Structure 1
Amino acid sequence: MANYTSIQAHPWSRPLNCLALAGLCAVLLFAFAWQILFSEPPCPLCLLQRAAFAMAGVGLLLNIRFGASPLHYGIVILSALGGMFVAGRQILLHIAPNDAGFGSPFLGLHFYTWAFIAFAALIVFCSVVLTFERFTGHDTRQSRSGFAVALVMWLFLVLSAANALSTTLECGFGPCPDDPTGYLWLSPGSGTK
């Protein structure tokens, strides 16, 4: 039997991870709804940010399903760092004066700026939660998931699958267009300007 270090979970660890995963679901759902309602397909950097949100969600999902672990928090933090890097690059691409940025702004900021803030919040969240966890031997106790927890986990999985399908419809199996205007597989020839 493998002996490795895990975390003696704080009683609030699971609900906090569930709340953070619900927040990620809200981010993915909002971006996906905006994409459909306002006909604004995401650019390649936006898709990478969504992938980073999905990977961070996997870490939170693992914490909820299998118990808190430094590995799971590491997945969230590394995914958020990757997402911050991509969002930061996109911010710097549009930092020049009179640059309108990519896509429509929401509450005065573009989605990539909001993504940068959300990734930073995820890192702060993990840092704060980890300060209250205690490292001990492996804890095999598992509690059953309530309806709300199961609903959040399934919502995350459905949103991740929907975003993956949307990306495939937009880009096919090749590189995504830099400035997408449509979906390659839904209407051939409309994927680029």
Structure 2
Amino acid sequence: MSAPAQRPLMTGDPRVTGGRIRPDEVIRPAVAPPAAPAVPDPPESGSRFGLICAHLFVLGSCGVLAVALFYQFVRGEYTCPMCLFQRMFVLLSAIGPGYVIARSHGGTVTARDWARGWGWTVLAAGCGAAVAATQVLMHIVPPDPGYAATLFGLHLYTWSLIAFLAAVFGAALLLFLTPAQTLDAAGTRATARITLGLLLAFALANLAACFLMEGLHWGVTISALPTV
């Protein structure tokens, strides 16, 4: 019988190194490199359509209040209690996008900020639409001529109803388009200050106009509301 074949001696075999294993020849287990820390998603800077809509919404609300103040002080139209409530809901509706703009002043707008702002607008504009629709139904039966003057053939409370419904639809659409990532609003601080300052100015002007017309007799105004 032939002698069994011998295995080739490995480098680290004690028979090769004289019974001693050199440290540089010890086979050590492989160690995996440490995992890289998770990097958060960068702010989304490709689209600022929502921020532009927020500014346009606030400016549009200020425009609606400007028309109301013009009819009150320039054309001498007495503002009814229902009209006062509609003005308040215009301001409340503008708080939603105003909140989004205020958050953008810090540099970023999160999805939660976006949802809170436009969600509030849907609620406030919906309540304003209910008030405006109530006033429309009060004067819808002929031969009622309606209350106060008209603008392009429609009374101001009819335009108010249209504006509130458009606000609900627009805010719901922007709420549906809530961004998945944080919006990068860097470089918009100056614009945010201007828009919020304008909104605050019209809010104070509307408060002064209501006070000049009603004074402290709000009980008379509330009692003048229609009852079913």
Residue 180 (structure 2) pairs with residue 143 (structure 1): no
**1:45-124 alignment runs, 5 A limit:** 45-66=82-103, 67=109, 68-124=113-169
**What residue is the counterpart of 1:185 in the other structure?**
none
- In the alignment, the residues of structure 1 paired with residue 154 and residue 69 of structure 2 have an alpha-carbon distance, to the nearest angstrom, of 17
Residue 57 (structure 2) pairs with residue 14 (structure 1): no
**What residue is the counterpart of 1:159 in the other structure?**
202
The residue type paired with residue 50 of structure 2 is S
State the 1:163 CA deviation: 0.5
- In the alignment, the residues of structure 1 paired with residue 70 and residue 50 of structure 2 have an alpha-carbon distance, to the nearest angstrom, of 30
TM-score (norm 2): 0.68
The residue type paired with residue 196 of structure 2 is M
Q: Secondary structure at the match of 2:129?
A: helix
Residue 206 (structure 2) pairs with residue 169 (structure 1): no
CA contact (8 A) 2:119 2:175 kept: no
Stretches of 4+ moved more than 6 A in 1? none
User: CA offsets, 1:114-157, max 9 Å, x none?
Assistant: 00000011111112212222356xx5965343544432221111
State the 1:36 CA deviation: 0.7
Residue 203 (structure 2) pairs with residue 133 (structure 1): no
- Which runs of 5 or more structure 1 residues have no equivalent in the other structure? 1-7, 180-193
Q: Secondary structure at the match of 1:33?
A: helix
The residue type paired with residue 178 of structure 2 is E
- In the alignment, the residues of structure 2 paired with residue 170 and residue 11 of structure 1 have an alpha-carbon distance, to the nearest angstrom, of 41
What is the RMSD of the two structures over their aligned residues, measured on CA atoms? 2.2
- In the alignment, the residues of structure 2 paired with residue 145 and residue 35 of structure 1 have an alpha-carbon distance, to the nearest angstrom, of 35
CA contact (8 A) 2:58 2:97 kept: yes
The residue type paired with residue 143 of structure 1 is A
**What residue is the counterpart of 1:26 in the other structure?**
63
Q: How high is the sequence identity, in percent, across the aligned residues?
A: 27
Instruction: Specify the structure having the higher radius of gyration (Cα).
Output: 2
The residue type paired with residue 200 of structure 2 is L
- In the alignment, the residues of structure 2 paired with residue 48 and residue 111 of structure 1 have an alpha-carbon distance, to the nearest angstrom, of 13
The residue type paired with residue 120 of structure 2 is I
Q: Secondary structure at the match of 1:175?
A: helix
Q: For this pair of structures, how many residues does the alignment match?
A: 170
